[in-house]
Amino acid sequence: MSLVEQFHLMNLDQRLLSAISDLKWERPTDIQQAVIPLALEKKSICVQARTGSGKTGAFSIPIIQSILETKIFQSEQSTSALILAPTRELCSQISKDIKSLCKYASKNVNVFDLAQSDDIDLLGPLLAENPDIVVGTPLKISEQLLRKRLTLDALEHLVIDEADLIFVFGYEKHMQALQTFLPKKSIQVILMSATLDEATFSLRGFFKLSEWVRVELPEENFLPSESQLAQYVISADESSKYAILISMIQLKLIRGRTIIFTNSIDRCYKLKLFLEEFGVKSVVLNSELPVASRCHTVQQFNRGLYDYLLATDENDSEGVTNAPKRDKLLKPVKDAEYGVSRGIDFKLVSNVLNFDFPLTAKRYVHRVGRTARADQMGTAISFVDSSEESQLSEVANLLSQNEASNPRADQTNKAGSFSVYQKWTDLDIVQWQDVAGKITRKRIREARLKEIKLELMNSERLKSYFEDHSADMDALRHDKLLSSTQQAHLKDVPEYMVPQTLQALIRGSNQRARDRQRYRPSSWAKGRQRFTGKAKASTSAAGGNAEKPIRMHQLRCHRTKMAIARNPEKVAQIKRQMARKKKAANPLFNFGKKR
């Protein structure tokens, strides 16, 4: 089968091509080149491709194209496509991606995300309109089918994303219920998964189809190559993990958006409280919070409002036989349809840090797959203690086996090697170790309860307001402080504690912070009100002579800056000199009164 390497060669609708162009998709990915032509031929497909390879677009584009073609000859409104996903977050992302592809065809293609609302009174009227595409978890779909609010008589396409997780999340009985509502006619079924295991093949048994087309890209590794993804390991015991992490953050060894994974929610909140002690803001993606709040957190993280997102994949019990029993102080009701390490499309993630090493090799692959997506660079750092050495070996074996099974893969860009992170060995971490010990279980419990109360209060009081003021939604941040005890002196690292190899890096960063503090606009305003008269008097006393210009390169010297800051006349002189330069550069610039 020949692959089609351009979207405009796939005979797609012009409205769909325009939306693809707006999304900056220059050419289809490898998996899209293989799947879209087969899906347009209405074949049932079982697809294996790693995270970030464009699977959502691979099944969304042919479904939208089929609906647009059907609408030309058929005016009756009906549900023709059903998309299932194991988590609400993934449903929200799929719905958003499909709506962006329907940007110029929104009047012809209706998309409804069933998993985002539990309001029965609201769902009834919306489903009564028979939306063209319905997205939801098997639980939500089966509930509405049993209530006879959703009909699948005209169904033509059924897609199951992350198919290998459907049984892991306990949806087997819901899939059995769904099977009884499927039309007797032949429909197209597409199974998308990062791994084609026994669960995926058993899922195929729910659909009585004689022919399946299996699509795999054997030249792909589980993870990107070393040239795109750098994987590091740091040997650290439990008492050192917190100290190493905060030292790496304060010394700017970790830059950009970072996802930090732990193995439990309690560990996330302990880490958040620890970072707050040093003035580092972070946000927890908590399965106990409403799904709207979780999706809003992901959206704000993708827009750059937060740099550090703390998450866990404890709901993903895939391959875990004997999970460690710890942090059982709280037993709140968690969302069974929550998941973050699989499928969620985090944007521009620079680093993934495994604060707790994943319990299985597959979890490691899915966690690290959050970074180095498409053609972007990424870094994965894992803390490993002595009890987790066997899990590290399991990950290394899995990646090496994948390389060995792909003879066409470029062996010079292998993805299965780990490097020891060397920079932290110069750090004096003793200064930070005692802070983590002060974060007790009582503080963790109080922090969790406080955040839940804040979210409930925001949900009730602001729901109606945000309906009319959507732009103000950004003001509702999720990284608010959960602890009332912060130590201001911990925010900065004293220069005498910085290793010699990192002196240049931290000195420049701290100097810029001090400069911003010293020359902030409020101090300029106070100086203008306080010293304007003195500056004018000194000018007139000099007999009206022109001021001696100050060369701007002199301001680079820290001692010169300090001297000028103590001399208000020099401050006023510098301001006037800079204003004249602006006026000379732009004749339309008007500064103060004309002389």
Q: Supply 431's token pair.
A: 């200064």
Tell whether the model's pLDDT for residue 36 goes beyond 90: yes
Least confident span in 124-128, 367-371, 508-512, 540-544:
540-544
More confident position, 402 or 472: 402
Report, as an integer, the average pLDDT of 125-139. 93
Report, as an integer, the average pLDDT of 147-151. 91
Q: What is the band of 53 on the pLDDT scale with cuts at 50, 70, 90?
A: confident
Sign for the CA dihedral angle at 9, 13, 18, 20 comes to negative
Tell whether the model's pLDDT for residue 22 goes beyond 90: yes
Other C-beta atoms lying within 10 Å of the C-beta of residue 566: 9
Short-list 194, 191, 231, CA closest to 214: 191
Tell whether the model's pLDDT for residue 83 goes beyond 60: yes
Tell whether the model's pLDDT for residue 453 goes beyond 50: yes
Report, as an integer, the average pLDDT of 213-236. 81
In SS3 terms, 440-467 reads as CHHHHHHHHHHHHHHHHHHHHHHHHHHH
Other C-beta atoms lying within 10 Å of the C-beta of residue 524: 12
**pLDDT computed for residue 161 by the predictor:** 93
Short-list 211, 150, 140, CA closest to 181: 150
128-142, 330-344, 501-515, 570-584, range with greatest mean pLDDT: 128-142
**Strand partners for 45:** 190, 213
pLDDT tens for 456-515 read 666 655 565 666 666 665 555 555 666 655 566 566 666 656 666 666 655 555 555 555
| E strands in 114-168 | 133-136, 157-160
Domain 7-216 grouped into CATH 3.40.50.300: yes
Q: What is the band of 37 on the pLDDT scale with cuts at 50, 70, 90?
A: very high
20-29, 337-346, 435-444, range with greatest mean pLDDT: 20-29
Starting at the earlier edge strand, list the strands of the sheet with 81-84.
Answer: 111-113, 133-136, 81-84, 157-160, 188-193, 45-48, 213-216
Tell whether the model's pLDDT for residue 120 goes beyond 90: no
Q: How far apart are CA 450 and CA 458, in angstroms?
A: 12
Short-list 403, 401, 399, 394, CA closest to 357: 394
**pLDDT computed for residue 528 by the predictor:** 46
Least confident span in 80-94, 164-178, 554-568:
554-568
Look up the CATH superfamily of 229-319+326-440: P-loop containing nucleotide triphosphate hydrolases (3.40.50.300)
More confident position, 66 or 525: 66
Residue 223 · residue 192 · CB < 8 Å:
no
Where along the chain do the CATH 3.40.50.300 domains lie? 7-216, 229-319+326-440
**pLDDT computed for residue 480 by the predictor:** 60
Tell whether the model's pLDDT for residue 403 goes beyond 70: no
Residue 215 DSSP SS3: strand
Residue 159 DSSP SS3: strand
**pLDDT computed for residue 531 by the predictor:** 43
Tell whether the model's pLDDT for residue 134 goes beyond 60: yes
Q: How far apart are CA 168 and CA 338, in angstroms?
A: 12
**pLDDT computed for residue 73 by the predictor:** 87
Q: What is the DSSP-derived secondary structure letter of residue 404?
A: H
The whole-model pTM stands at 0.68
> Torsion over CA of 502, 507, 510 and 515, rounded to 10 degrees?
-160
